[in-house]
Amino acid sequence: MEPAAESPRCPRCQTAATFATEPQVCPSCHKRFSIHPGPLVDRSLTPPPPDPQARRVRVRSHGVLLANAGVLEPESIQQGVLDPITGGVRLAEQTIVYPRVAAVAFWREIDPFGALAVVVLWLLAAALHDGFGLGVAVLAAWQTRRILWLKRWHALVLGPKGHAISVRFDRPWWNRKRFRQELLRRCGMPVNPMP
Ligand SMILES: [Zn+2]
């Protein structure tokens, strides 16, 4: 057994956890997350052979200057800075091949600045009584759904020897569910509910 298998942890506060098929609540930080063993530690899992025709699944989140990307290639998950031309990862910081995935954790997080913006929008909508106020209310409702209900989606993929890939995968929206399902499928892991 690899060390990662013996010590699954809460991805948010590093408190010791146990592998579970369902999402769990951390006893220490009280946040929800899920953590599942990968094929490196659970030998009953058999990742399917890499399919060279498999679609590349790409997610990204924007930093100050560059887009941080997570990409599912046919044989590995990669994380790094996105190449705007090829759509692949330029300057790959980490690569983990699917059979060497030790564990995958998922959680969702509220963006505090986004939450603040939602409050401001609702206050503004309440202060305006005309059609413009209605428009602001529609925008506020849309942003409330996005920021407080959908939240930001995060995945932590642990590989051998302390290798780890941390990726935010709620954007673009059409790859949100596909990224998670394809990651688990390519690792030979069952698809479980998102926390
Ligand atoms: Zn925790």
**128-149: per-residue pLDDT in tens?**
878 888 999 999 999 999 899 8
Look up residue 146 and give its DSSP letter: I
Provide the β-strand partners of residue 92: 80
Q: Enumerate residues with CB within 5 Å of ligand 1 (an ion).
A: 10, 12-13, 15, 26, 28-29
Same-domain status, 53 and 21: yes
Amino acid at residue number 170: D
pTM of the model: 0.86
Same-domain status, 7 and 85: yes
pLDDT of 2 reads 43
Question: Judging by beta carbons within 10 Å of its beta carbon (0-12, 13-18, 19+), is residue 122 exposed, middle or buried?
Answer: middle
Domain annotation covers residue 11: yes
The CA 39 to ligand 1 mean position distance, Å, reads 24
Choose among 52, 93, 79, 84: nearest CA to 155: 79
Same-domain status, 73 and 168: yes
Residue 2, classed as helix, strand or coil, is coil
Same-domain status, 117 and 105: no
Domain with 59 in it: 3-109+153-186
- Tokens 């790094």 correspond to 80
Same-domain status, 22 and 98: yes
The CA 121 to ligand 1 mean position distance, Å, reads 31
Same-domain status, 163 and 96: yes
